[in-house]
Every structure is written in structure tokens, then in C-alpha cells.
């Protein structure tokens, strides 16, 4: 049986993918795995390749999504991104690390969510 957090995380990744597509991004890959870790979404916008980490929260009890991106997590994303780039024959003018923070809130019996796209999380 899958953990509830896994289900919420996958749901958030689906919403993030739809959001990026609505913004004109082309999705190249989802859940790219390497020995260094996973990249949730790899997208292209113009001649820029974007590696996207998605964090979905139902509560701020453990902090916001951006607070969960530690220096160690950034290092793993960079290593996985390097792995992807070295195995790709495509040249990109620019490379970017982004984060999509999805917060689910409950209003009465109805749940709503907010999407926050943070560009250049490694800057």
C-alpha cells in the first residue's frame, strides 16, 4: 500500500506538470531517476532546460516547500541534472533549477490548492 504522502506527492507532481504545460513549457521527462536521486520534472521553455523539484504540502507544520530544499538536496538535483545533460544529445543555451510549491488547503468540505513557481532556486 502506498503511503498517503506518496499519493499527495504524485498528485502535486501532476498538478505541477499541468501548470507548466499551461505556461507553455514542453515536458521532456517526469520522475527521472539516477543513483544521485530523482528529478520530478524536466521541461524545456524556449532553448532553456529546466529541472523542477515539486513540493506538495497540506500543512505548514514542517515548513514550506522551499524550506525543504536543503543544500544537500540541491547537490543531488545538480548531480542528477548533470547526468541527464551528459546523456542527452541536445544543446541548451540556458539551464535552470526551479521549484514548484503546491499548498493544499481545506475550506469547509472542499479542498483548493495554490501553485507557486519559484525560478532559479540555486541562485
Structure confidence by residue, pLDDT tens digits, 19-55: 999 999 999 999 999 999 999 999 999 999 999 999 9
> Can you give the CATH number for the domain in which 33 is found?
3.40.1350.10
| Residue 85 confidence (pLDDT) | 94
- Using 50, 70 and 90 to split pLDDT, how confident is the model at 6? confident
Asked, for residue 99, whether it belongs to a domain, the answer is yes
Query: Which cell is 38 given?
Result: 530523482
Whether residue 17 lies inside any domain: the answer is: yes
Confidence band, pLDDT 50/70/90 cuts, at residue 108: low
Q: Find the domain containing 72 and state its range.
A: 4-118
For residues 42 and 87, give the distance between their C-alpha atoms in angstroms, rounded to a whole number: 14
Burial class, 52, CB count within 10 angstroms (exposed 0-12 / middle 13-18 / buried 19+): buried
Q: Is residue 123 part of a domain?
A: no
pTM: 0.90
Task: Report if residue 101 sits inside a domain.
Answer: yes
Higher pLDDT, 27 or 121: 27
For the ranges 36-45, 49-58, 87-96, 102-111, the lowest mean pLDDT is seen at 102-111
Q: What is the pLDDT of residues 50-86, one digit of tens each?
A: 999 999 998 888 888 888 888 999 999 999 999 999 9
When divided into structural domains, the chain yields a total of: 1
33 in Cβ contact with 17 (< 8 Å): no
| pLDDT attached to residue 1 | 45
Rounded Cα distance, 76 and 121, in Å: 13
Q: Quick check: is 63 in a domain?
A: yes
Amino acid at each position: 500500500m502506498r503511503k498517503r504522502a506518496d499519493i499527495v506527492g504524485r498528485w502535486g507532481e501532476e498538478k505541477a506538470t499541468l501548470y507548466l504545460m499551461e505556461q507553455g513549457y514542453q515536458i521532456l521527462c517526469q520522475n527521472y531517476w539516477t543513483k544521485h536521486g530523482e528529478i520530478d520534472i524536466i521541461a524545456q521553455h524556449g532553448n532553456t532546460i529546466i529541472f523542477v523539484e515539486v513540493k506538495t504540502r497540506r500543512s505548514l507544520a514542517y515548513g514550506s516547500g522551499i524550506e525543504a530544499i536543503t543544500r544537500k538536496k540541491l547537490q543531488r538535483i545538480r548531480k542528477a541534472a548533470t547526468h541527464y545533460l551528459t546523456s542527452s544529445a541536445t544543446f541548451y543555451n540556458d539551464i535552470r533549477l526551479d521549484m514548484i510549491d503546491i499548498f493544499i488547503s481545506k475550506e469547509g468540505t472542499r479542498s483548493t490548492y495554490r501553485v507557486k513557481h519559484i525560478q532559479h532556486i540555486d541562485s
